[in-house]
Structure formats: structure tokens, C-alpha cells
Amino acid sequence: MRSLFDPTQVGDLQLANRIVMAPLTRNRAPDAIPTPLMAEYYTQRASAGLLITEATAISHQGQGYSDVPGLYGTEQLDGWKRVTEAVHDAGGKIVVQLWHVGRVSHNELQPDGGQPVAPSAITAKTKTVLIKNGVPTFVDTSAPRALDAEELPGLVHTYQAAARNAVETAGFDGVEIHAANGYLLDQFLKSGSNQRTDDYGGSIKNRARLLLEVVRTVTTAVGGGRTGIRLSPVTPANDAYDADPQPLFDYVIQKLATLNLAYIHIIEGATGGPRELPDRPFDYSALKATYRTAGGKAAWMVNNGYDKALAEQAVADGTDLVAFGKPFIANPDLVERLRRNAPLNKPDPATFYGGGAKGYTDYQTLS
């Protein structure tokens, strides 16, 4: 019988188990540079079959929150290399999540104080985080400008360069393209944020164009077997909305089936919230079936609100990987705790964003 603790092959990666540490933004990278403390944090959790880093900006323009890491400078890549070396020394596997926030940003975080960019000039009804004097503060996002079509090839190239730097320079085992949670690629996908009238707006095919261009160029850079993608069909996070998500994501998943990816990472329901949204029904089993019917062979990863019992049932039903988020914050040895049915530490929400070791690397393990 399939188990959470089975070793498994995911693309080019051999994983020790099916348990994945989901990406978790922690805002502890001043100047977008990963720190030795971050290396300790990830290494503590290296018993997961796969670690997915916190979302990491592919460019200065792609940054949307204070003190999140980047992949666009030498010091940032050097910092990440210290992280990947430490994780590999501990026997772990780690991929980096490639992030462009699009309109979910603030002028203070943008190059020269400019406007955030988006598919259309529609302000997101959401908050971002600014950290001043060590204190995180939630503030409204700034009004964005619409990207010109002439800018999009350069944006695609930026994703490619970030992926190549991540694997070849920083030593990551692969990359995850962040196309979820109302950030840039998700903004292009969804009708609520994309009101363009050119080849990147309107029809499902056009709204999916940028995402598919990014995936193709990233797989060219690092290989499909080292590339995953994260999707969130119905989450309302960051003011994300589509009027008819099932046919949209059926189209996207059919196209992804041809690209020989390592894994498909699906957020079920509202990110960090309810798994079922009565006002936004979605058939995740049908989505997976559509992918398999189209020839897709990537590992299928599920995420959102999973405990051990739910995860075990998902694996028994054919899911390949289960991502755990908040439980990994307070339980660096989550894999062992799940194996032993041991109680879990409770995380301290006051230390989620920003700060130092407290609430980051000081949680107790079973030993």
C-alpha cells in the first residue's frame, strides 16, 4: 500500500518520502539576500522529501514584500548557495520558487519608487508588508501600470535567467514556477485582473499565453525534470478571481501535460483557508484526470489544510506528494512526528513575518 513515507521519483529528483515543505514567506532576508539563519532554518527541515523555498523574486520589479529573498544579484545567489549546500549536506532536496508579484506590491519596494506592473491597470484589493525599524506593517498595495506587450519577451527571459542562475550558480535541485495566489502569472490567467485586448488577454488561450511561454523557456533552461509549477484555481488570495475557472485550468493543464514537468502543485480551495468554497466550485479530480488523459506524467502534489489522515487518504487514492505549510513552521522534524503520530508544536503567528531566530529556528524537536 502506498504511504506518505515511500521514497519516490519526481522528475529528475529521487525523494526520500512524499512529504513536501510548502513555500512559506518569512521576511527574514534584508536587502533580498539569504542569510546564514535561513540556511539553518531550511537545514532543520531537510528530512522532508522536498523543500520548496519561500517565494523568491526573479527581479527587483518582481518584489512585493519587504525582506523577501531574490535571485537577481551575486550576493543573493551566494547566499542561496550557502543554503543549498547546507541542505544537501543534511541529505535534503530543495527547489526555489520563482516569483514575480505583479500588482501585489508597493511603490516603496519598486525600482526608483515606480509603479508595480500588472496585465491591466487594476489595483489589487489586498495588502502587502513593509518592514521599518524591524516592525512589519500591512499596507495597501499601490496602483499598478499595465505592462506593454513589448515588455513581455524581456519578462519571459528574466524567468529563464533566474531559473538558470538558481540551478547552475546557487545549486538548487530545481525550480517551482509560482503561478498561483494572485501574483503576476495568475493575474494574467484570471479574468478579474486581466482585461487586456491584445494577444495576452480576452480568450482563455490568450490569457494563458504568458504562463506557457514562461514554462517553456524555464524548461529549456533547466529541464522539465527539474521544473514544477504551482496553481491555485479558485483561491481569493490577493484579489484573485476568474469568472469560469474550470475550463481555464483544464486548458492550462492540457498544455502543461506536453512539457514533461517534474510536478504539478495544486492549492485546493482558499490558500491558508477553507478547502471548499461554495461560491467557487471546482472539480480537482477532474482536473487531474484531464492532465493524465492529455498524457501528463508529472507527480501530482496537493496542498491546503492537510493533516496526516487526510494526506494518507490522498496518497492511497493516487496522489504523489502532499505539501504541508504551517505545520513545518513550528515542527522542523514534522516528518518524524507524522511517522510516530507524535503531537505537533503550535506556531506563533506573531513571529511569522520578519524578526530573527525567535519563532524561526528555535522550535523544539522530539529529540
Q: What is the pLDDT of residues 45-71, one digit of tens each?
A: 999 999 999 999 999 999 999 999 999
Residues marked active site are found at 183
The answer to whether residues 12 and 226 touch, using CB atoms and an 8 Å cutoff, is: yes
For residue 323, give the C-alpha cell: 505539501
pLDDT band at 143 (very low <50, low <70, confident <90, very high): very high
Exposed, middle or buried, 241 (CB in 10 Å: 0-12/13-18/19+)?
Answer: middle
Number of structural domains, the chain?
A: 1
In a domain, residue 98? The reply is: yes
Exposed, middle or buried, 259 (CB in 10 Å: 0-12/13-18/19+)?
Answer: middle
For residue 298, give the C-alpha cell: 508529472
Alpha carbon distance 312, 351 (integer Å): 30
Give 312-341 pLDDT, tens digit per residue.
999 999 999 999 999 999 999 999 999 999
In a domain, residue 253? The reply is: yes
The CATH number of whichever domain residue 48 belongs to comes to: 3.20.20.70
Alpha carbon distance 6, 2 (integer Å): 7
In a domain, residue 250? The reply is: yes
Q: pLDDT value at position 342?
A: 98
Alpha carbon distance 19, 243 (integer Å): 33
Query: Can you state the angle between helices 209-222 and 152-164, rounded to 10 degrees?
Result: 30
In this structure, the number of other CB atoms found within 10 A of the CB of residue 7 comes to 10
Query: Can you state the angle between helices 245-256 and 209-222, rounded to 10 degrees?
Result: 30
Alpha carbon distance 274, 299 (integer Å): 24
Altogether, the residues listed in the chain come to a count of 367
Q: pLDDT value at position 92?
A: 98
Give the containing element (helix H, strand E) for 88. helix 74-89
Alpha carbon distance 114, 130 (integer Å): 16
In a domain, residue 200? The reply is: yes
Contacts 24+ apart (CB under 8 A), 159-162: 159/58, 159/98, 159/100, 159/214, 159/217, 159/218, 160/217, 160/218, 160/220, 160/221, 161/58, 161/221, 162/58, 162/59, 162/71, 162/72, 162/98
For residue 160, give the C-alpha cell: 529563464
Mean pLDDT of the chain: 97
In a domain, residue 357? The reply is: no
pLDDT band at 133 (very low <50, low <70, confident <90, very high): confident
In a domain, residue 363? The reply is: no
Q: What is the 3 state secondary structure string of 150-169?
A: HHHHHHHHHHHHHHHHHHHH
In a domain, residue 130? The reply is: yes
Give 93-111 pLDDT, tens digit per residue.
999 999 999 999 999 999 9
In a domain, residue 33? The reply is: yes
Q: Can you give the residue range of the structural domain that contains 174?
A: 8-351
* Interacting residues of 236 by C-beta distance below 8 A, sequence separation 6+: 270, 277, 280
The answer to whether residues 123 and 115 touch, using CB atoms and an 8 Å cutoff, is: no
